[in-house]
Chain A
Amino acid sequence: MAEVPIDIGHVSKLARLALTPDETASFAQQFAKLFDFIKELQALDVSEVHPTAQVIPLHNVLRDDAVRPCLSRAEALANAPDAEGPYFKTPRILE
């Protein structure tokens, strides 16, 4: 199996996703199998190839800067786990 270069603990912090020790351990094993496939890509010479981000190229898709109907404040807040007045409410952000 391929060696897995991922520091899962570090990446989980970047992803703001808390993992249990069991999850971390099983992901490490599973990624090892996947990297058996991924390492094959490293063998290809792609130095002269342009990357494809999107297969049907469209450029500069713009619209008129005009006011259009949109969600009301009540609709925008309707699914919020917590709200106060016209605001989404979160736990403390700044000390």
Chain B
Amino acid sequence: MITGHGLRDAVLRRERSAEQIAREALARIEVAEPSLRAFITLTPDVAIARARAVDAAVARGENPGLLAGVPVAVKDLFCTKGVRTTCGSKILEQFSPPYSAAVVEKLEAQGAVIVGKTNMDEFAMGSSCENSAFFPTRNPWDARRVPGGSSGGSASIVGARGVPLAIGTDTGGSIREPASFCNVVGVKPTYGRVSRYGMIAFASSLDQAGPLAADVRDAADALEAIAGYDPMDSTSVNVPVPHYADQLRTDLAGVRVGIVSEFERSLESDAPMSALYRAAYAQLESLGARLLDVSLPHAKFGLATYYLIAPAECSSNLARYDGVRYGLRVADGGDVFTMFERTRAAGFGPEVKRRIILGTYALSSGYYDAYYVRAQKIRTLMKRDFDIAFAACDIIACPAVSCPPFELGAKSDPVAMYLMDYFTIPMSLAGLPALSVPAGYVNDLPVGLQIVAPAFEEGRMLGAAFAYEQATRHAWAKTPPVAAAYAQRESGRNA
């Protein structure tokens, strides 16, 4: 399996050129794209130019950084100066940002080579990538199935081993669920760890950027690259960013791992899934961890709480799409208010409209206290649940998902789709760091283990994930079908 750290080390040792690495990644993407459709926009020329700049820096004896020469795909939710940024929506189909997101600048400052912008559920609202206004993305392990969402394109192209690293965003599970579905490592950092400057906002108290990576070491390097205080995001927190690679460990001696009783009960009736997770917990124990039961009594209210808070924030954030300053405008006569209504009617897809209506209602006069404020109070209780749990344990291990990737069209009912985030929403509401790491297969389809840590303890979480990954190497056990096509193409060239 190609890893970002492997490529970087080869570049720094001058064994490989960043340009050659970029050309190979672009060639793999060309093979994979017809079946996956992971990208909304590819930027091969920009990538080659960046790669050459990295090679020139290495030739001058400089170190271009943690991600030197690593090909990276970026979710189309991050502004990229001069490169179309759609957020998966018709309303931004022609939007060309005048500046780049902090995450994009930080990636480039560490020598990353951005190859394109990945597909996503419109405005990050969805769990399957089927809500993209343009086309659905497919799962690299089975093209009849979804890659998860909303960061579906990012997960798909890393799972397909087209690039070793991609960036996504997670509001209620949008990195962790697709990471589980595509057999990659996906990290949602602590709220405030990574700057949101230049991220197109969905739910501002929940949105957080993070990596989807080939392995835990790549996730650690990528998080280090993008994390850190940014005065342009007033919610970014000014705490030092550790060198996460130093915190990777190969045993779990002395680590207390909390197992969430409520989650285990809810999966009990699904024998293959609960067996997979029990085996994962046993593996942690055999690495030296001590397992103990913890309780999150308010986790069951997570879905309802989330589907008041996130739509409320969405309705406020998406008020800016009014056809005046950027984006689509539909003005076929009438006054400015008619233009607002028609522009938004034409520019937003069904899921976005649903959430705008729900959120506007939850914030409207007479209902604000009953819904929005009440949901915020339950958010307090949920955070308290985690505080109590983490008084007894160092990390929590739990399911990332309730099922392996499902087929396109299988969740046509919105509430069935919302339930996909059952295991990921509580951590989002509590602002905690959480990741999904490959944990094996059910019916030959990948499933991820979720590991959660207290706020700003990403290093502890990555360290545990690394020990588990190195002991199990689940992602190495199988090769996605599309990767066989890369080899065929290579041998065809050489023949």
Give A contacts to B, CB under 8 Å. 5-6, 8, 11-12, 14-20, 23, 27, 30-31, 33-34, 37-38, 40-42, 44, 46, 49-56, 58, 61, 63, 71, 75-76, 78-82, 88, 90-93
Interface CB pairs A-B, < 8 A, 22? A6-B358, A11-B361, A14-B360, A15-B315, A15-B360, A18-B342, A18-B345, A20-B345, A34-B304, A37-B304, A41-B304, A41-B375, A44-B301, A52-B376, A53-B205, A71-B99, A78-B96, A81-B326, A82-B331, A90-B336, A91-B331, A91-B335
Q: By the criterion CB–CB under 8 Å, are B348 and A11 in contact?
A: no
Q: By the criterion CB–CB under 8 Å, are A30 and B98 in contact?
A: no
Q: By the criterion CB–CB under 8 Å, are A58 and B237 in contact?
A: yes
B383 sits at the interface (CB 8 A)? yes
Once the chains are docked, how many angstroms separate the CA of A63 from the CA of B231?
A: 8
Residues of chain A within 8 A of B344, CB atoms compared:
15-18
Once the chains are docked, how many angstroms separate the CA of A51 from the CA of B371?
A: 12
B244 sits at the interface (CB 8 A)? no
Q: By the criterion CB–CB under 8 Å, are B379 and A52 in contact?
A: yes
Once the chains are docked, how many angstroms separate the CA of A12 from the CA of B431?
A: 31
Once the chains are docked, how many angstroms separate the CA of A69 from the CA of B457?
A: 35
Q: By the criterion CB–CB under 8 Å, are B414 and A30 in contact?
A: yes
Give the segment of B17-25, B173-181, B317-325, B398-406 that binds chain A: B317-325
- Identify 14 new A-B residue pairs, CB closer than 8 A, beyond the known A38-B371, A41-B308, A46-B381: A6-B357, A11-B360, A15-B315, A18-B342, A19-B357, A33-B415, A46-B378, A52-B376, A71-B98, A79-B98, A79-B326, A80-B325, A81-B328, A81-B331
Q: By the criterion CB–CB under 8 Å, are B235 and A50 in contact?
A: no
Partner of A56, one of B235, B304, B364: B235
Give B contacts to A, CB under 8 Å. 94-96, 98-99, 190-192, 205, 231, 234-235, 237, 301, 303-305, 307-308, 315, 319, 322-329, 331, 334-342, 344-345, 348, 350, 353-354, 356-358, 360-361, 364, 367, 370-371, 373-381, 383, 413-415, 418, 429-431, 455
Closest Cβ of chain A to B190, distance in Å, is 7
CB within 8 Å for A52 and B383 given contacts A37-B303, A81-B323: yes
Q: By the criterion CB–CB under 8 Å, are A58 and B380 in contact?
A: no
Q: By the criterion CB–CB under 8 Å, are B374 and A42 in contact?
A: yes
Residues of chain B within 8 A of A37, CB atoms compared:
303-304, 307, 415
Partner of A34, one of B374, B415, B455: B415
Residues of chain A within 8 A of B323, CB atoms compared:
81
Q: By the criterion CB–CB under 8 Å, are B307 and A34 in contact?
A: yes
Once the chains are docked, how many angstroms separate the CA of A63 from the CA of B233?
A: 11
A-B pairs with the 5 shortest C-beta distances?
A: A55-B431, A51-B376, A81-B329, A79-B326, A46-B377
Residues of chain A within 8 A of B378, CB atoms compared:
41, 44, 46, 49
Once the chains are docked, how many angstroms separate the CA of A14 from the CA of B367?
A: 14
Residues of chain A within 8 A of B415, CB atoms compared:
30, 33-34, 37
Q: In this complex, what residue of B is CB-closest to A93? A: B336
Once the chains are docked, how many angstroms separate the CA of A79 from the CA of B327?
A: 7
Q: By the criterion CB–CB under 8 Å, are B361 and A6 in contact?
A: yes
Once the chains are docked, how many angstroms separate the CA of A42 from the CA of B301?
A: 11
Once the chains are docked, how many angstroms separate the CA of A33 from the CA of B237?
A: 38
Q: By the criterion CB–CB under 8 Å, are A16 and B337 in contact?
A: yes
Once the chains are docked, how many angstroms separate the CA of A23 from the CA of B351?
A: 11
Once the chains are docked, how many angstroms separate the CA of A10 from the CA of B112?
A: 48
Once the chains are docked, how many angstroms separate the CA of A46 from the CA of B384?
A: 13
Closest Cβ of chain A to B375, distance in Å, is 7
Q: In this complex, what residue of A is CB-closest to B302? A: A37
Residues of chain A within 8 A of B375, CB atoms compared:
41
Closest Cβ of chain A to B202, distance in Å, is 15
Once the chains are docked, how many angstroms separate the CA of A38 from the CA of B375?
A: 9
Q: In this complex, what residue of A is CB-closest to B415? A: A33
Once the chains are docked, how many angstroms separate the CA of A52 from the CA of B453?
A: 20
Closest Cβ of chain A to B412, distance in Å, is 11
Residues of chain A within 8 A of B380, CB atoms compared:
49-52
Q: By the criterion CB–CB under 8 Å, are A15 and B357 in contact?
A: yes
Once the chains are docked, how many angstroms separate the CA of A8 from the CA of B354?
A: 10
Residues of chain A within 8 A of B98, CB atoms compared:
71, 75-76, 78-79
CB within 8 Å for A14 and B364 given contacts A44-B301, A46-B377, A53-B205: yes
CB within 8 Å for A41 and B301 given contacts A53-B205, A55-B430, A55-B431: yes
Q: By the criterion CB–CB under 8 Å, are A34 and B334 in contact?
A: no
Once the chains are docked, how many angstroms separate the CA of A38 from the CA of B315?
A: 18
Once the chains are docked, how many angstroms separate the CA of A13 from the CA of B123?
A: 21
Q: By the criterion CB–CB under 8 Å, are B329 and A82 in contact?
A: yes
Partner of B325, one of A16, A44, A63, A79: A79
Residues of chain A within 8 A of B418, CB atoms compared:
34
Once the chains are docked, how many angstroms separate the CA of A41 from the CA of B367?
A: 14
Q: By the criterion CB–CB under 8 Å, are B324 and A27 in contact?
A: no
Q: By the criterion CB–CB under 8 Å, are A40 and B96 in contact?
A: no
Q: By the criterion CB–CB under 8 Å, are B329 and A49 in contact?
A: no
Q: By the criterion CB–CB under 8 Å, are B377 and A49 in contact?
A: yes
Once the chains are docked, how many angstroms separate the CA of A75 from the CA of B4?
A: 35
Closest Cβ of chain A to B384, distance in Å, is 9
Closest Cβ of chain A to B310, distance in Å, is 12
Once the chains are docked, how many angstroms separate the CA of A8 from the CA of B353?
A: 11
Once the chains are docked, how many angstroms separate the CA of A15 from the CA of B319?
A: 8
Q: In this complex, what residue of B is CB-closest to A6? A: B361
Taking each of B96, B234, B361, which has the highest tally of chain A beta carbons within 10 Å of its own beta carbon? B361
Q: In this complex, what residue of B is CB-closest to A55? A: B431
Q: In this complex, what residue of A is CB-closest to B238? A: A58
